[in-house]
Amino acid sequence: METELTQRPITILIAALGGEGGGVLADWIIAAATAEDYPVQSTSIPGVAQRTGATTYYIELFPVRAAELQGRRPVMTLAPAPADIDVMLASELLEAGRALQNGYVTPERTTLIASTHRIYTVEEKIALGDGRYDSERILAAAKALAKRAILTDFHKLAANTGAMINAALFGALAGSGILPLPRAACEEAIRSAGKGAEASLRGFSLGYAAAEGKAAPAAGLSTDVDAPADTDIPEAFLAERMRKDFPTEVQEMLAQGVARVTAFQDRAYAVLYLDRLEPIAKLDQARPGAEKSKLTRETARFLALWMSYEDVIRVADLKSRRSRFERVRTEVQAKPGEPVNIVEYLKPGVEEAAALLPPALSRRLVAWAEKRGLMHKLNVGLYVKTSSVTGFLMLRLLAALRPLRRMSARYVEEQALIERWLAAIAAAPDPELALEIALCGRLIKGYGDTNRRAKANFLRIFDTLVDGTTVTGPMERAKAVRAAREGALADPEGRGLEATLATHGIAPLPPQPKIIQFMRRPGAKRKAA
């Protein structure tokens, strides 16, 4: 009986970031379809650098075997069209949001398979405050606009098996039942590729189960930290302390904070983190009418970030960890035994170096450099090849200064500011004011000039509004602190903050001078005097 060409191709669009194996995923689909004698065609569009867009792969698969077409060939297109996609795969949540915005996901037709984890864009990272896009809005839109939405953290599923995310996405695609491809054909396509087949098959299996609703990924975020062993304080002690002294709603945030500050210094530092939070938690629970544990949660978030501030020791430690070298090798898809050269660009200044010294020596060094005009002249860039023995040992030597950090000028300065911030939160007479003061921790971020501007804004708000007497009532002060904080986050130069303070009769500070350096044009000749 002659087969009638009444069917249309199944359209598949894949959006993947660099290093996630989107091209390999497309190759697996093509290999499985070809092995099963289905006509298939694919094209790809490269993405943009600096995390402003993904590489997309478009595949059309005709669901009738070539042997049944009696020599005829289906006509398939080379590019995707909005409202014409059967399966949309996104390797990251914001990429799913872009697909939704561009009209590739429709409730009449599209199955959306997307990972719920985030890899932040450049715009999100450089924002002075919390510049992250609202993941909940994307998830709600995905569930509303897709005919079927398979949403889970495929990145974590894959990482648990040592595979890349493309294997878990391929498993979810096979498990969704959209394609006429049996599981065995998909697994054979992975085996045929050779490299990393066993790990990929494990990731495929978890993705397949997730599409069937059988997988339940563990809750929580990956800490990606290599915490130092501190045998004086057992890890079980910290876990018991969190369970006993803090409400359930903040347990996950506390676990992340403890892991971060432990990796930054040691477990004794994590005990200090919990000691600082315990009075805030008790105050939070005792106050009626406040949103349950919100003050504790937000304070825990920004306290962990502040206590693990960026300094030369931390940067050297992060850039010389084994996990980072492994991640780089995975991203560039290096083969076993293939050499990978990593060159880091570092630009430590006089202040960063002085911050490692005891306070008295630090002040002398900074004063000496300022007197001779060397503060900016000595701020030069360094290229360090961390894949070489010399470069790696240099970073590990800096990282080994961790036990001496508590004696450094930067540590003393940061702890004093932290204590001032926490004392103001605890002393606030109103829960709303306490929360607004806690959220001022959002101002502290970055390093170098960025960190100096952030602290200047923080101290300006504290000196004028938190500790000042210009605004008296608790509710009025809470509104003033909120407006000032938002003004500071919106304008890195501080003029927005000063304009906000001026509305309360506070005289604005003059603009800060900037150094202008004139550079001679390359190749230009100096004119004779």
25 and 159 both lie in a single domain:
yes
Domain endpoint, select from 160, 187, 212: 212
C-alpha to C-alpha distance for 374 and 101, rounded to whole angstroms: 51
Calculate helix-pair angle for 135-145, 93-101, nearest 10 degrees: 50
Mark which of 186, 212, 238 sits at the end of a domain. 212
What is the full per-residue pLDDT of the chain (529 aa) written as tens digits?
Answer: 344 445 889 999 999 887 678 888 999 999 999 999 999 999 987 765 444 556 889 999 999 999 998 888 898 988 899 999 999 999 999 999 999 999 999 999 999 999 999 888 777 777 766 778 889 999 999 999 999 999 999 988 888 787 889 999 999 999 999 999 999 999 999 998 776 788 889 999 999 999 988 754 433 333 344 444 454 577 788 888 898 889 888 988 999 999 999 999 998 999 999 999 999 998 888 776 556 789 999 999 999 999 999 888 998 998 998 888 888 887 777 888 888 888 888 877 888 888 899 999 999 998 998 888 887 777 777 888 888 999 899 999 999 999 999 999 999 999 999 999 999 999 998 889 999 999 999 999 877 778 888 899 999 999 999 988 888 888 999 999 999 999 988 887 778 888 899 888 888 888 777 666 666 776 655 554 4
Alpha helices in 36-76 (DSSP H): none
Identify the pLDDT of residue 3.
42
- pLDDT of the residue at 523: 64
How high is the pLDDT of residue 297?
Answer: 93
User: Which pair of structure tokens corresponds to residue 389?
Assistant: 């023995």
Q: Global pTM?
A: 0.67
Domain contains 418? no
Can you give the pLDDT at residue 325?
87
C-beta neighbour count of 424 within 10 angstroms: 18
Q: Are 353 and 365 in contact (CB under 8 A)?
A: yes
Residues 341 and 208 in one domain: no
For the packed helices 267-286 and 431-439, what is the interaxial angle rounded to 10 degrees?
A: 150
Identify the pLDDT of residue 110: 95
- Tokens at 482, concatenated: 């909120």
Please tell me whether residues 205 and 338 are part of one structural domain: no
DSSP-assigned states of every residue in 432-455 = HHHHHHHHGGGG---STHHHHHHH
Examine the fold and report which residue of 212, 242, 259 is the final residue of a domain before the chain moves on.
212
254: in domain: no
Q: Is residue 358 part of a domain?
A: yes
Asked if residue 322 belongs to a domain, the reply is no
Number of domains in the chain: 2
* 337 shares a domain with 207: no
- C-alpha span between 68 and 3 (Å, rounded): 6
Q: Report the 10 Å Cβ neighbour count for 54.
A: 24
pLDDT of amino acid 227: 41
Structure tokens at 99: 């697909």
Beta strands 111-115 and 148-152, pairing class: parallel
Question: Could you tell me which residues are beta bridge partners of residue 14?
Answer: 57, 89
CB 467 within 8 A of CB 506: no
58 & 185 share domain: yes
Q: Rounded to whole angstroms, how far apart are CA atoms 496 and 494? A: 5
**pLDDT for 55:** 81
Range of the domain at 361: 331-407
Question: Is 365 a member of any domain?
Answer: yes
Number of H helices, E strands in the chain: 22, 8
Check residue 168 and give its pLDDT: 93
| Domain contains 465 | no
* CATH number, domain with residue 206: 3.40.920.10
Angle, alpha carbons 445-446-452 (nearest 5°): 85
The reply to whether 234 falls in a domain is no
DSSP label of 56: E
Distance of CA 234 to the CA centre of its chain: 29
pLDDT computed for residue 53 by the predictor: 57
For the residues of 226-249, what is the DSSP string, one character each? -PPP-TTS-HHHHHHHHHHHS-GG
Q: Which pLDDT score is estimated for 2?
A: 41
- Are residues 339 and 200 located together in one domain of the fold? no
Calpha distance 475→84 (Å, rounded): 53
Which among 322, 320, 391, 309 has a CA at the least distance from the CA of 356?
309
Q: What is the pLDDT at residue 516?
A: 67
Return the residue matching tokens 């629970």: 285
Torsion angle, alpha carbons of 29, 35, 41, 46, to 10? 40
Residue 87: the pLDDT is 95
Asked if the structure places residue 523 within a domain, the reply is no
